[in-house]
A and B are shown apart, each in its own frame.
Chain A
Amino acid sequence: RKEVEQDPGPFNVPEGATVAFNCTYSNSASQSFFWYRQDCRKEPKLLMSVYSSGNEDGRFTAQLNRASQYISLLIRDSKLSDSATYLCVVNGGFKTIFGAGTRLFVKA
């Protein structure tokens, strides 16, 4: 089992749709969690941190379920500009692990 696993993509959705990504992790001692966004041929950039209480930033909502060891990202009212790869990142002490990413295509 991979240490961090993400939904296989790609997700193809129309503008305005709601889309959700899941990510599971194997190390129960993991301490911090993030979602990064990576545009084609660009570097990853932080989208949002993920907290146990859940957090929201505009159209984006992130949730963490420690008991089931997964995190999720919900995007509401998808825009064309949301097309990118979304990377789940899990930190456990000194170790940082990226998921393979989920590719999202938003079409007009």
Chain B
Amino acid sequence: EAGVAQSPRYKIIEKRQSVAFWCNPISGHATLYWYQQILGQGPKLLIQFQNNGVVDDSQLPKDRFSAERLKGVDSTLKIQPAKLEDSAVYLCASSLKGSLGIQYFGAGTRLSVL
């Protein structure tokens, strides 16, 4: 069974530029998550989708971050404009049973903002 796919694996941009990340969850998983993991910290949930609806985006900095999951399958996360403090690994995860279920993670996108 294919796992969670993410791209790109690495991205280097300058501050104030924009960037987008893509995620394709495990087939059949209705719940999709985006996390931000800063070095030395645990993953922080940015947004959670159930199918194509948003369940929780309380920690998403909405002035610069946006995410969509238009057809209830793959998803994109965008940052515009990027700040230095956005340097982190952005992890996508999916689960079969919503928030109470096991989450499977993609390999992540490592973002460096210079």
Query: What 0/1 pattern do residues 25 to 39 of A give for CB contact below 8 A with B?
Result: 000000110100000
A46 to chain B, nearest CB (A): 5
Q: Tell me which of B11-19, B38-46, B61-69, B74-82 binds A.
A: B38-46
Whether A54 is near chain B, meaning CB under 8 Å from some CB there, is no
A37 to chain B, nearest CB (A): 11
Whether B103 is near chain A, meaning CB under 8 Å from some CB there, is yes
Contacts between chains A and B (CB distance < 8 A), count: 51
A45 to chain B, nearest CB (A): 7
What is the number of residues of chain B that contact chain A, defined by CB distance less than 8 Å?
Answer: 23
Query: Do B45 and A97 touch (CB < 8 A)?
Result: yes
Chain B residues positioned under 8 Å from A96 (CB to CB): 33, 45, 48, 99, 103
A34 to chain B, nearest CB (A): 7
Complex CA distance for A34 and B45, rounded to whole angstroms: 16
Whether B32 is near chain A, meaning CB under 8 Å from some CB there, is no
Query: What 0/1 pattern do residues 71 to 114 of B give for CB contact below 8 A with A?
Result: 00000000000000000000100000011111111111000000
Chain B residues positioned under 8 Å from A31 (CB to CB): 100
Residue of A nearest to B92 (CB): A43
Option from B41, B42, B48, B101 in Cβ contact (under 8 Å) with A94: B48
With A43-B106, A94-B56 already in contact, 7 other A-B pairs whose C-beta atoms are closer than 8 Å: A34-B102, A42-B107, A46-B102, A94-B99, A95-B99, A96-B33, A101-B42
Task: List residues of A whose CB falls within 8 A of some B CB.
Answer: 4, 31-32, 34, 42-46, 49, 87, 89, 91, 93-101
